[in-house]
């Protein structure tokens, strides 16, 4: 049947919107599995996920999609490459070309392995049961290697997986960025550890009841713009955000009743993700134009709110009086020692609890390991030893057990290999975006001191969130900041902040 290019576009548009609804159902199943599912429901959830994945794969590989794409790609709809129609067509083609390379059998196996792997990880990590978890991880790694081969690549198989999270990035390109950044971070870390100033972290080690932590977190999240009528905050083993659809973006947190910070900063981090999802253009929901650009850009939002906002002095000049009312153990602690303590730089075992200076070293370690896994240069059995060796080399620490070492993250158990580098890219993007925001808006700390976060959020909505997937990540950076990605902004931010805290010249 012959169709016009406009009829073809309408078919693609409606198909994309309907596929988005099915995707949102899968997201809801994933949220439920990581929060409130009964322990005996996991096996059936794996089957539900497999069936839904088979349906989605069938939709994404429908031969009619190729026919409709052929009809629109040379039309006037793509004359302006940044128009919503052209953006959708570009990304539909990209998604289709990737989907048809993956056999349905592999797509279903990956979905089932990820569902079962997450369940095993949730049970095995608290028990330090590496031997019990290892077979699940071996299966996932084998499937991801197979996926990379089907997707294809120019330089190496890891690039095929990385491209799913950060379009156009390569292991080689990241290696160059990370290598230079590592040298700067190590030098800064040496200056900090050589300082005579030290915070007193014991002020954060007191009873902090989980219910009060949650109440305080809710208050903070409301102030920065998270809408609880369009989302939820629930406890989980490993914090995450999931966008179910318009008006429903959910976040989670993990609380430690003997330590202040893990719950709050984790919640703010996830709220940064949620604010991005909530700020995407809802009239384009279900199409690429209504989706986020990449995981790196997504992480730029979470890391900005977590670190540049909620760990800043202006933020706490507004919130600290309320925190001292909420938590008895803070009432005798002045603001300055508290602020220094929450910004302490100290090599640690756990990535999600790492400070801003050492955090990227955790990410680089994971990037190198998973890249070598996909290269088949190392095996899953090698991981505990390799992990510990790299921890000693990068951070001078040796994990005492798998739970605080190789098993600490949920990502590999869920098949998210290629995800970790986006955290460091997010830090780089965040610093560059924040610098530009202050150039245009002035000193944002003055806003934070008044409890005003609306101007920053509006700037992000205007420049990043509302743009959907109009541009690829690096092009978005150029459009927003006027220059290419530049790691100098992150290092300048870190040096200025920590020189003042630790008393040395930036």
Please state, in angstroms and rounded to a whole number, the distance separating the CA atoms of residues 450 and 315.
8
The SS3 assignment for 318 reads: helix
Contact assessment for residue 139 and residue 113, using Cβ atoms and an 8 Å cutoff: yes
Please state, in angstroms and rounded to a whole number, the distance separating the CA atoms of residues 160 and 282.
30
- Cα angle: 203, vertex 209, 215; to 5 degrees: 105
Please state, in angstroms and rounded to a whole number, the distance separating the CA atoms of residues 63 and 249.
33
For residue 437, how many C-alpha atoms fall within 13 Å in the half-sphere facing its CB? 26
Q: Compute the residue count for the chain.
A: 506
Residues annotated as catalytic are 270
Please state, in angstroms and rounded to a whole number, the distance separating the CA atoms of residues 239 and 267.
8
Token digits of residue 247 = 């008006």
Residue 389 backbone dihedrals phi, psi, to 5 degrees: -60, -45
The SS3 assignment for 500 reads: helix
- Angstrom distances, CA of residue 240 to CA of 182, 232, 409: 27, 12, 12
Query: CB atoms < 10 A from the CB of 375, how many?
Result: 14
Contact assessment for residue 374 and residue 161, using Cβ atoms and an 8 Å cutoff: yes
DSSP code string of 137-178: HHHHHHHHHHHHHHH--SS-HHHHHHHHHSTT--HHHHHHHH
Please state, in angstroms and rounded to a whole number, the distance separating the CA atoms of residues 378 and 386.
9
Contact assessment for residue 320 and residue 341, using Cβ atoms and an 8 Å cutoff: no
Cβ-count burial of 189 within 10 angstroms (0-12 exposed, 13-18 middle, 19+ buried)? Answer: buried
């Amino acid at each position: 049947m012959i169709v016009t290019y406009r009829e073809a576009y309408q078919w693609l548009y409606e198909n994309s919107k309907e596929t988005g609804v099915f995707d949102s159902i899968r997201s809801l199943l994933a949220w439920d599995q990581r929060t409130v599912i009964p322990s005996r429901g996991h096996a059936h959830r794996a089957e539900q996920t497999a069936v839904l994945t088979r349906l989605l794969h069938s939709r994404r590989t429908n031969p009619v999609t190729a026919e409709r794409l052929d009809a629109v790609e040379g039309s006037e709809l793509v004359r302006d490459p940044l128009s919503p129609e052209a953006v959708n067509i570009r990304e539909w083609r990209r998604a289709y070309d990737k989907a048809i390379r993956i056999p349905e059998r592999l797509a279903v196996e990956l979905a089932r392995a990820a569902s079962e792997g997450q369940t095993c990880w949730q049970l095995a990590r608290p028990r330090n049961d590496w031997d019990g978890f290892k077979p699940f991880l071996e299966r996932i790694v084998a499937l991801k290697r197979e996926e990379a081969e089907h997707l294809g690549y120019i330089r190496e198989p890891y690039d095929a997986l990385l491209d799913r999270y950060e379009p156009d990035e390569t292991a080689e390109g990241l290696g160059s960025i990370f290598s230079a950044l590592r040298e700067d971070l190590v030098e800064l870390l040496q200056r900090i550890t050589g300082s005579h100033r030290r915070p007193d972290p014991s002020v954060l080690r007191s009873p902090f009841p989980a219910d009060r932590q949650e109440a305080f977190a809710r208050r903070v999240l409301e102030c920065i713009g998270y809408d609880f009528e369009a989302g939820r905050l629930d406890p989980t083993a490993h914090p995450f955000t999931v966008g179910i659809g318009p008006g429903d973006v959910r976040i989670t947190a993990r609380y430690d009743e003997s330590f202040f910070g893990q719950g709050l900063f984790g919640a703010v981090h996830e709220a940064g993700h949620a604010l991005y999802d909530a700020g995407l253009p809802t009239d384009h929901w279900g199409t690429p134009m209504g989706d986020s650009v990449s995981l790196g850009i997504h992480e730029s939002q979470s890391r900005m709110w977590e670190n540049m906002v909620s760990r800043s002095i202006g933020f706490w000049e507004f919130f600290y009086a309320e925190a001292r009312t909420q938590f008895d153990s803070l009432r005798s602690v002045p603001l300055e020692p508290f602020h220094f303590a929450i910004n302490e730089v100290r090599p640690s075992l756990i990535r999600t609890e790492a400070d801003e200076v050492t955090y990227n070293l955790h990410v680089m370690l994971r990037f190198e390991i998973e890249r070598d896994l996909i290269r088949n240069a190392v095996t899953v059995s090698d991981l505990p030893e390799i992990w510990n060796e790299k921890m000693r080399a990068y951070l001078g620490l040796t994990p005492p057990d798998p739970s605080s070492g190789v098993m600490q993250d949920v990502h590999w158990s869920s098949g998210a290999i290629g995800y970790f580098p986006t955290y460091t890219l997010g830090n780089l993007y965040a610093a560059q975006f924040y610098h530009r925001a202050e150039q245009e808006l002035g000193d944002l700390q003055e806003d934070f001191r008044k409890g005003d976060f609306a101007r920053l959020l509006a700037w992000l909505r205007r420049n990043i969130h509302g743009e959907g997937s109009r541009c690829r990540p690096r092009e978005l950076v150029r459009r927003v900041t006027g220059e290419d990605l530049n790691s100098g902004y992150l290092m300048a931010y870190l040096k200025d902040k920590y020189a003042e805290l630790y008393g040395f010249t930036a």
